[in-house]
Amino acid sequence: EAGVTQFPSHSVIEKGQTVTLRCDPISGHDNLYWYRRVMGKEIKFLLHFVKESKQDESGMPNNRFLAERTGGTYSTLKVQPAELEDSGVYFCASSQDLGRGDLAFFGQGTRLTVV
């Protein structure tokens, strides 16, 4: 069974450009989460989808970030326009049940560098 996969693994873009990150959750997992780790600090929650609906987007930093999950399958996270402080590693996780932490499976992350 394939795990959570994220594309691309690395992205380097210039300030002001747009970048779209993609996450393919484990098949059948209704719950999908985005997290990010900025500048070697703690990994912070961004948002949570249940199927195609945003259940909790309290961690989204600002309106330059747009997450979608059309059809309740894969998800995209778009940053437009990107700023220097958006650099970091973006993690996606999925779970079948409402996660209690141990039920979430993480992808390998996308390292975003904004120059």
Partner 1 sequence: GNSVTQMEGPVTLSEEAFLTINCTYTATGYPSLFWYVQYPGEGLQLLLKATKADDKGSNKGFEATYRKETTSFHLEKGSVQVSDSAVYFCALITATDSWGKLQFGAGTQVVVTP
Residue with smaller CB distance to partner 1, 17 or 22:
22
45 binds partner 1 (CB under 8 A): yes
> Of residues 13, 26, 60, 103, which one binds partner 1 by CB under 8 A?
103
> Of residues 33, 34, 65, 90, which one binds partner 1 by CB under 8 A?
33
Q: Is the CB of residue 70 less than 8 Å from the CB of residue 54?
A: no
| Sheet with 5-7: strands ordered across | 5-7, 19-24, 75-79, 65-68
93 binds partner 1 (CB under 8 A): yes
4 binds partner 1 (CB under 8 A): yes
Q: What are phi and psi of 72, to 5 degrees?
A: 70, 20
* C-alpha dihedral sign at 85, 81, 24, 52: positive
Q: Which spans of this chain sit near partner 1 (rule: CB under 8 A)?
A: 3-4, 31, 33, 35, 37, 40-45, 48, 50, 55-56, 91, 93, 95, 98-109
